[in-house]
């Protein structure tokens, strides 16, 4: 698989990384419903076999469970990928998640223990909240980097102004923003700022958490378990869902001409933008991962990109 240098780091990362949110399993307001750990481990192994060389996880995914599953999958594995994790989302005994940037050292120790490792390849501030804590929190992350506990430090969900603020304290290796045909907010400022300042972009949810895979239907949405966060997400409800499923149909149609699924077209569309270093793609089992990652080299033609852009403009 094609690889690209991530920002100012020494890491050449595959243009697709495996996202480990859904495989965190149930147990919180940001869960994706039931998940079989054996399927998750098979998904990780399949991704590595197909050339994916990094995994993105976070403590909040399954309240620690995602990091533990990643560790189980990598234990004894001869071909270890880079492991990226995050800080800033804490939870209480009832499993309620909240933003707190004051306990990063403790958070890191917990992640190292769950991931069964001595160092994190990329440590990311998951959300810039509470905003008044981000400068001090970034200084702490820079110290952790100097101490060798984390190799590189990055941000996630940051605006250009927030990157400008913390970039004066210590260099930012990467930003992790959302990017898909359904969420293009970063095109105006965040991507141009990152490109100019050599901040890598690892864009998340290119298929909008399953909505642009071609496998989403109204019936599936209606049958989502209560603890699948998508049951309540606005893009899965009217009026947005009619438009979003129409986009997925267009991607299916374009993909059919190349024998690739709609999700591959959705990912290729995000990667048409040279400011995007790589995409973070979730997969809940080996089959899903194989269907997507096998086509990591797929690129859209100029005509197809124009067709998509016209459709999006006509369906705002």
String of DSSP letters for 274-292: TT--EEEEE-SSHHHHHHH
Binding flag, residue 107, ligand NAP (CB under 6 A): no
| Residue 47 neighbours by CB distance under 10 Å | 27
* Contact present, 202 and 279 (Cβ < 8 Å): yes
Each residue 154-173 as x (binds ligand NAP by CB under 6 A) or -, in order, gives: --xx----------------
- Residues of this chain, 32-51, that bind ligand NAP according to CB under 6 A: 32
Binding test (CB under 6 A) with ligand NAP, winner from 282, 286, 295, 296? 282
* Contact present, 212 and 263 (Cβ < 8 Å): yes
Least Cβ distance, residue 264 to ligand NAP (angstroms): 8
| Residue 77 neighbours by CB distance under 10 Å | 11
- Residues of this chain, 216-245, that bind ligand NAP according to CB under 6 A: none
CA 156 to chain centre: 10
Binding flag, residue 215, ligand NAP (CB under 6 A): yes
Q: Is the peptide bond before 130 cis (omega within 30 degrees of 0)?
A: yes
Least Cβ distance, residue 284 to ligand NAP (angstroms): 5
Positive/negative CA dihedral, 80, 205, 59, 159? positive
Binding flag, residue 62, ligand NAP (CB under 6 A): no
- Residues of this chain, 255-274, that bind ligand NAP according to CB under 6 A: 261, 263
Binding test (CB under 6 A) with ligand NAP, winner from 11, 14, 16, 19? 19
Element (H, E) at 97: strand 97-99
Length of the chain: 316
- 47/303 with CB nearer ligand NAP: 47
Place of tokens 């698989």: 1
Part of the chain binding ligand NAP (CB under 6 A), chosen from 17-25, 67-75, 106-114, 138-146: 17-25
The contact set with ligand NAP (CB under 6 A) reads: 19-22, 32, 56, 126, 156-157, 176, 204-210, 213, 215, 261, 263, 280-284, 288, 291-292
């Amino acid at each position: 698989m094609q690889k690209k240098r991530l920002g100012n780091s020494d890491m050449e990362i595959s243009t697709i990384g495996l996202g480990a949110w859904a495989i965190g399993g149930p147990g919180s307001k940001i869960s994706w419903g039931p998940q079989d750990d054996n399927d998750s481990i098979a998904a990780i192994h399949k991704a590595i076999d197909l050339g994916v060389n990094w995994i993105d996880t976070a403590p909040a995914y399954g309240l620690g469970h995602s990091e533990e599953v990643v560790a189980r999958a990598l234990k004894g594995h001869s071909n270890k990928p880079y492991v990226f994790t995050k800080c800033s989302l804490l939870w209480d005994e009832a499993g309620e998640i909240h933003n707190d940037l004051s306990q990063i050292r403790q958070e890191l120790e917990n992640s190292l223990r769950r991931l069964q490792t001595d160092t994190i390849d990329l440590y990311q501030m998951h959300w810039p909240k509470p905003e008044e804590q981000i400068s001090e929190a970034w200084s702490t992350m820079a110290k952790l980097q100097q101490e060798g506990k984390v190799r590189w430090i990055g941000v996630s969900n940051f605006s250009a102004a927030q990157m400008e603020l913390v970039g004066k304290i210590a260099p930012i290796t990467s930003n992790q923003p959302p990017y898909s045909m359904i969420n293009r907010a970063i095109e105006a400022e965040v991507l141009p700022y990152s490109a100019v300042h050599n901040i890598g972009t690892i864009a998340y949810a290119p298929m909008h958490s399953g909505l642009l895979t071609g496998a989403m239907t109204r019936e599936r949405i209606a049958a989502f378990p209560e603890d699948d966060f998508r049951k309540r997400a606005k893009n899965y409800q009217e009026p947005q869902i009619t438009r979003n499923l129409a986009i997925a149909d267009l991607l299916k149609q374009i993909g059919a001409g190349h024998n690739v699924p709609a999700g591959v077209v959705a990912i290729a569309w995000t990667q048409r933008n040279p400011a995007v270093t790589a995409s973070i793609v979730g997969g809940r089992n080996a089959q899903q991962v194989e269907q997507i990652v096998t086509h990591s080299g797929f690129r859209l033609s100029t005509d197809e990109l124009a067709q998509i852009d016209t459709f999006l403009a006509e369906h705002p």
